[in-house]
Amino acid sequence: MSCPHCRSESITKRRRRTSLGYRIYFCNSCRRQFNERTGTPFNDLQFPTDIVLMAVLWRLRYKLGFRDVAELLLQRGFEVSYETIRTWEFRFAPHVAENLRKKRHGRSGRSWYLDETYVKVSGRWCYLYRAIDRDGNLLDSMLSEKRDKHAARRYLRRLLAISDHRPFRLTTDKHPAYTKAIRWICRA
């Protein structure tokens, strides 16, 4: 571990902990004290990191309402308002999504199903591209303003970068943009 302030490796561990139970460290170079969460997005939270991430995962995975998640946390002894959960989701959902994307990297099946749908995001209509493997795992998704060969090619390029291999079978909805993009993949 290094100091988040000066990046020095010369640190010592203190005996006491924070009120949430995190270890406290002291940097011998810059003479500052810090804990395990200093320098992370979770630094200023009044709740443990695992509780915050659990609330965000419940909200995203099970499509629960903000008040439902607040009630579940209350049953576990944490009194949190639904507005706090909304703030947590806004702050930490991108981090959770990025970590899940990293874990999925290279773990895709050999048979993919690609489709797109027209959705409204923040008041604007756009295309949501999705790829699912044979086991039903979501490989990746992408929003695009257009449904053309350039968007399909960009999406397939992203999929190949995530999966590290080409699919054995690729099922689409026969849109001409996919045909051109798939030909481009076969040639590359």
Give the model's pLDDT for residue 16: 84
Whether 111 has a pLDDT exceeding 80, the answer reads yes
Span of 34-43, 44-53, 103-112, 127-136 with lowest mean pLDDT: 103-112
Residues 6+ apart with CB under 8 A from 71: none
Q: Give the pTM.
A: 0.55
Residue type at 175 in one-letter notation: H
Contacts 24+ apart (CB under 8 A), 45-50: 47/20, 47/78, 47/80, 48/20, 48/21
Whether 167 has a pLDDT exceeding 90, the answer reads no
Pick the closest to residue 4 from 30, 12, 22, 14 (CA basis): 30
